[in-house]
Amino acid sequence: MSNLLNRLVQVWDRYWFTPESLTRLAIYRIWVYAIILIDVLVWTRGHLRYADVDPQLYHPIYFLNLFNIPAPAHPWLDIIYGLLAVFVFLALIGFKTNFFVLLASGLYMYWVAQWFSFGWVHHLHPPLLFSMIVLGLSPSGARLSVDHLLKRLRENHAAQQFIPKTDATSPYAAWPLRFVQVIIILLYFLSGYAKLKISGWEWANGTTLQWYLMNDYLTFGAPEGLWLANHKTLCILLSYLTLIFETGFILALFMPRYAPWFLLVSFSFHLGTYITMRTFFEFLWLAYPVFFNFPKIGAWIRYKITAPAGLIKFAVLFDGQCPLCIRSATTVDFLDWRGKFVFRDVNDWEQISRDYPGLDQQQSLEEMQVMIPRDGGHEALTGFYAFRKIAQHLPLGMLFWPFMHVPGVPLIGTRVYRFIASRRKRITGGARCSFHACEIPVLGNQLKSNQ
């Protein structure tokens, strides 16, 4: 008996708590909160109008009734809406992640619930709504977040050196993803179950589908629906396929490897319902990314398709004795989601001069450099131009990259860069840099004599 119990515990533990990539979890957080931000700012912004609807039509659902929450009214609904948008944005960028993710989930629940209290409960919110909540109860901000950037800046500053990022796994990164997967699978299965329990196999009599097609035709006016409703045999066939597909979806629970195939079939199903009924179930399939391991897919695309001969990497040469440079390198490393850069400390001059012959050590200390592989050698870009090159290859930097080419910007950028670089402190003995030179222990005397 205890053996069986032990085995069950092991299976349970393996299913929910097998270590999973924190980056994968973070990508799902960004995806979910990006969708919710669009939903709040664009799709459901109009629900502010529910504050104007006759309160007699307000029939609070149980969740709101439990807390005696009255019908929405101005200006409270407007204030809640504003806070919701801010919290969702903070959850998206991962600032105080768990705190703001949970706050955003709570407010979003209210936002949706007050809308449902006017007589109609939408059935497809659970996957995204539950995703929002479980992300707040897990280490979803441990990667790809402002929290992670700040943590790394603090750690690298304390260590007085640049330590490159690594992906890590956590036993608490898997359960939120598995949980949402199970919810999606259950949703399909329970939809099929409802049809069979309420109507039995008679649901597939063809007339039922014809009726629903006509009902949605009268509401949304899809001519394709009218066409399909006039083909009864096809309606019977599609009805049976729907029942088999929905109830059969439960198999995805036991065959997780084949989940993408189930998703492909279900997405085709939703595409079909959109064409014929103008019902897209977007809140359901927008949660599908929870099934995909995006870090692995990204690596596969990179090494098999976009860079089969190996990724061309640019070396960023920086002064590892300068806190500002360590911070810059840490930030660039954080934003380098495509893994385009490697970071080299110029204080390891022996190795650097071997790898990049012809470089000047003093200039390397004064300005950050980016080494671009070219014709078997390397071309060096320094200062502002190095940063512009970096921006070109960072997904977020691309937003600023075009502006860095506006006439006048390189001139101003170079001056600003030099001004900041010349005033930075160095770790060793409180040494500083000037416009012309950086004090470094090895070259210090020689430099002073040159000046």
Partner 1 sequence: MKNWKPLISFMIMIWLGLQIWAGSDFKDYTWPFIGFPMYAHKRGVTYDNEVQKILLRGVTTHGQEIEVIPEDFGMYSTPWNHSVAPKLKDPATNRTTAAQLVNDYNRRHPQRAPLAGMRLIKIHWRMTATVPVEMPPDTILYYMKAPF
Binding-site ranges for partner 1 (CB under 8 A): 12-13, 16-17, 46, 49-50, 52-54, 56-57, 59, 61-63, 109, 113, 115-116, 118-121, 123, 125-126, 129-130, 137, 171-172, 175, 179, 182-183, 186-187, 190-191, 193-195, 198-200, 202-203, 205, 207-208, 210-212, 214-215, 218-219, 229-230, 232
The residue (of 214 and 431) whose beta carbon lies closer to partner 1 is 214
The CA distance from 44 to 50, in Å, is 11
The CB-of-320 to partner 1 minimum distance in angstroms stands at: 31
The CB-of-450 to partner 1 minimum distance in angstroms stands at: 54
The answer to whether the beta carbons of residues 170 and 22 sit under 8 Å apart is yes
Residues 348, 352, 354, CA angle at the centre, nearest 5°? 125
The residue (of 58 and 267) whose beta carbon lies closer to partner 1 is 58
The residue (of 46 and 429) whose beta carbon lies closer to partner 1 is 46
Q: Is the dihedral of CA 175, 177, 178, 180 positive or negative?
A: positive
The CB-of-290 to partner 1 minimum distance in angstroms stands at: 15
Q: What share of the chain is helix, strand, coil (3-state, %, to 5)?
A: 65, 5, 25
Q: What are phi and psi of 330, to 5 degrees?
A: -60, -40
For residue 98, count other CB atoms closer than 10 A to its CB.
18
- Which residue intervals of 200-322 are DSSP H helices? 207-220, 223-229, 232-248, 259-277, 282-285, 294-301
The CB-of-126 to partner 1 minimum distance in angstroms stands at: 6
The CB-of-336 to partner 1 minimum distance in angstroms stands at: 28
The CA distance from 210 to 232, in Å, is 7
The answer to whether the beta carbons of residues 126 and 304 sit under 8 Å apart is no
The CA distance from 384 to 386, in Å, is 5
The CB-of-188 to partner 1 minimum distance in angstroms stands at: 9
Residue 97: what residue type?
T
The residue (of 242 and 347) whose beta carbon lies closer to partner 1 is 242
The residue (of 128 and 352) whose beta carbon lies closer to partner 1 is 128
The residue (of 17 and 99) whose beta carbon lies closer to partner 1 is 17
Q: What are phi and psi of 70, to 5 degrees?
A: -75, 175
The CB-of-15 to partner 1 minimum distance in angstroms stands at: 10
The residue (of 21 and 328) whose beta carbon lies closer to partner 1 is 21
The CA distance from 271 to 265, in Å, is 10
The CA distance from 280 to 273, in Å, is 6
Structure-token pair, residue 416: 């600003």
DSSP element (H, E) containing 20: strand 20-21
The CB-of-19 to partner 1 minimum distance in angstroms stands at: 12
The CA distance from 415 to 395, in Å, is 26
The CB-of-146 to partner 1 minimum distance in angstroms stands at: 23
